[in-house]
Amino acid sequence: MKPYGYKTTCTFFISGTNDLVCCTFSIFADAGSIGVNYGRIANNLPSAVKVVQLLKSQGLERVKVFDTDPAVLKALSRSKIKVTVDLPNELLYSVARKQSFAYSWVQRNVAGYHPDTQIEAVAVGNEVFVDPHNTTKFLLPAMRNIQKALVKYNLDSSIKVSSPIALSALQNSYPSSAGSFRPELVETVFKPMLDFLRQTGSYLMVNAYPFFAYESNSDVISMDYALFRENPGVVDAGNGLRYFNLFDAQIDAVFAAMSALKYDDVKIVVTETGWPSKGDENEIGASVENAAAYNGNLVRRILTGGGTPLRPKADLTVYLFALFNENKKIGPTSERNYGLFYPDEKRVYDIPFTLEGLSHYKDKTPPVSAGQQVSTPISDRGVSKSSSANTWCIANAEVGREKLQNALDYACGEGKADCHPIQAGSSCYEPNSIEAHASYAFNSFYQKNKRAMGSCDFSGAAFVVSQPPRFGQCEFPTGY
């Protein structure tokens, strides 16, 4: 899966800038790999032959397609581009029910093109657990039947079988160390599927979109944290690891969920990730600048090697979504604007896809208008630098009552927070809950310490928000 490439011996940020500085490069055989999703829900795209020429001109050596269109697979023949093909959700029932159907599908759509077209994986279905047609029960039988068909045609040693899952398959994803799969899927799907992946030497396909998490939680997740820019990081209270980007945190939540089921040896390939360059008014964060920053910094993150905090040796293969803007996709405006290229093959924004291109790449932070006050958005359950006083510290109820009580005791005692307003009969006693009282005390400590980095942590029991907290009629101070 991993191309021969380079890996940095160190990577760090220059304080006060958004520039990553990569130190000396050394030859390294296990660098990460970048691919791209080639979706075609559009009526204005170039021919498959031109698309293959575009991929090669950009140095993209991996592509994932959502079907087995003959024109596409023929165009990819002898291109040396590795291909992941998809068996659509609509065919899961037929493939699961009849081995003969699986044989004919593999013969026609895989064996008929390989090895001239270098098919390296079959994605059986796509995000099946959220498929409204209730195809989950057919997934494992379909995967097994496709595998049997690959064995029949002597392709099982070179082609892997898996199925992309969405992060909604997780019951818990924060903090990453608490990652777990949805309970109703554990025994029926995930354990047997992970067994299958282990036995066949395959990997779990994961679709991860930090954009969705940021869009829904922009009041607590820092834009810098979402876009791989400089930030103080977020400490996972469960394992003590510090995260500097949301992507790593999401992937480690999946690794943790697998580890909880004793499948630490199964690898992950990120089959979709991306950021839209345009969105509706309520799609916070969708812009050309942010899309360029996310994808450009992600490429650098992957190609310069190194795994995640939980799996530091797990260099990742990541497929960007998507090659083109697709004008016939339904849904919000963002759905039609994930493309790296316009249909005329012009770039939507300029980012590299290779190590050579990275040597000249610089993340372009949007300029700030003169006189405009800007505060850095707050990182996911953590602290970041801010030029504005309008941030508050509140309790993280997810750590449990005991941790909150211990942190509250510290804040009101040794921490010398002003806890008089949360005493019985005082202005902030109601609501009389541990979360409300702890939030007031944590915020008092945070403000008294001038919102210094690390002053809103309490071993993971607190995090910063950029909107005024609301607990009854109590008003939280913003400074002392």
Enumerate long-range contacts of 282-287, CB under 8 Å, 24 or more apart: 283/215, 283/332, 283/333, 283/334, 284/214, 284/215, 284/218, 285/211, 285/214, 285/215, 285/218, 285/223, 285/226, 286/211, 286/215, 286/333, 286/334, 286/337
The pLDDT, as a whole number, for residue 392 is 82
Same domain, 226 and 346: yes
Q: Is 1 a domain residue?
A: no
The pLDDT, as a whole number, for residue 366 is 54
| Rounded Cα gap, residues 92 and 163, in angstroms | 11
Same domain, 258 and 346: yes
Same domain, 145 and 210: yes
Same domain, 341 and 275: yes
Where a domain ends, among 311, 334, 356? 356
Q: Identify any residues that bridge with 7 across adjacent strands, giving them in sequence order.
A: 26
The residue from 127, 230, 283, 326 that is catalytic is 127
The pLDDT, as a whole number, for residue 238 is 92
* Residue 438 parent element (H or E): helix 434-448
Structural contact between residues 38 and 322, judged by C-beta atoms closer than 8 angstroms: yes
Q: Is 361 a domain residue?
A: no
Catalytic site residue 272?
A: yes
Same domain, 161 and 267: yes
Catalytic site residue 402?
A: no
The pLDDT, as a whole number, for residue 278 is 97
pTM over 0.85: no
The pLDDT, as a whole number, for residue 480 is 57
Same domain, 45 and 113: yes
Where a domain ends, among 356, 383, 418? 356
The pLDDT, as a whole number, for residue 11 is 36
Report the number of distinct structural domains present in the chain.
2
Q: Residue 124 maps to which CATH number?
A: 3.20.20.80
Q: Is 137 a domain residue?
A: yes
Shortest CA distance to 48 belongs to which of 317, 323, 352?
323
Same domain, 419 and 279: no
Same domain, 342 and 398: no
Q: Is 362 a domain residue?
A: no
The residue from 61, 272, 283, 326 that is catalytic is 272
Q: Is 472 a domain residue?
A: no
Structural domain range at position 438: 392-465
Same domain, 295 and 430: no
Q: Is 470 a domain residue?
A: no
Same domain, 170 and 273: yes
Provide the residue count of the chain: 480
| Rounded Cα gap, residues 294 and 299, in angstroms | 9
Same domain, 303 and 403: no
pLDDT, one tens digit for every residue, the chain (480 residues)? 333 333 333 333 333 444 443 333 333 335 699 999 999 999 999 999 999 999 999 999 999 999 999 999 999 999 999 999 999 999 999 999 999 999 999 999 999 999 999 999 999 999 999 887 889 999 999 999 999 999 999 999 999 999 999 999 999 999 999 999 999 999 999 999 999 999 999 999 999 999 999 998 898 999 999 999 999 999 999 999 999 999 999 999 999 999 999 999 999 999 999 999 999 999 999 999 999 999 999 999 999 877 999 999 889 999 999 999 999 999 999 999 999 999 999 999 999 999 999 988 888 765 433 333 222 333 333 322 233 346 788 898 878 899 899 999 999 998 899 999 999 989 899 999 999 999 999 999 988 888 776 788 888 788 877 677 878 888 887 765
Q: Is 22 a domain residue?
A: no
Q: Is 153 a domain residue?
A: yes
Where a domain ends, among 303, 335, 356? 356
The pLDDT, as a whole number, for residue 447 is 87
The pLDDT, as a whole number, for residue 378 is 33
The pLDDT, as a whole number, for residue 397 is 82
Rounded to 5°, the CA angle 152-154-156 comes to: 95
Same domain, 396 and 300: no
